[in-house]
Amino acid sequence: MVESSGTRSSKAILKQSLFNTLAPILHQYHFIEVFAGTGSVGLEAASRGAMMSYFIEKDTHAYSILNENIKAIKAKIPTIKLKSFLGDSFEVLPQILQTFQKDQKLILFFDPPFPIRENFADIYEKCFALIETIKLECIIVFEYFSSYEMPKNIKDFSIIKTKKFGKSGLIYYTNHA
């Protein structure tokens, strides 16, 4: 897979934990990598059985690499379902979500980019505001700085699992009854 110097790859241990957690249910869900970069998490979700993976990326260079990666995996697995979107995640995600029916199951993976590490709280707050607008039932997974105090609830979404790995962590929210 092609990497980009403008994006960071999720640590292997976090990805392993993510997919160990999602493995029993992944085949029932559509997977959206909200800040895709080169698409490593969404591509792995698709290759592990997600119904379809969607990717949103704002950076044109990373988006180009993402599409090269999509083309490469489609060459190996022609039946795999992948769709990429170029644009701002805060604008594109609501448009994608409007295309889903209430009975479709979604996993949204948030690993927001941070050009300056000290400003990460601002982008988290923007992500939380975006999540508050979601009306569909879904699972939301954040890769986050473990030193940051993530909210216990984001409107209708509540924590179902957390896992810390040194400076990073994964936190899972759902609004399922």
- pLDDT tens-digit series, residues 137-150: 999 999 998 888 99
In the three-class reduction of DSSP (H, G, I as helix; E, B as strand; rest coil), residue 4 is classed as coil
Long-range contacts of 146-154 (CB under 8 A, 24+ apart): 148/120, 148/121, 148/124, 150/124, 154/128
pLDDT of residue 122: 86
* pTM of the predicted structure, to 2 decimals: 0.91
What is the mean predicted confidence (pLDDT) over 34-51?
96
Q: Which residues contact 153 (CB under 8 A, 6 or more apart)?
A: 159
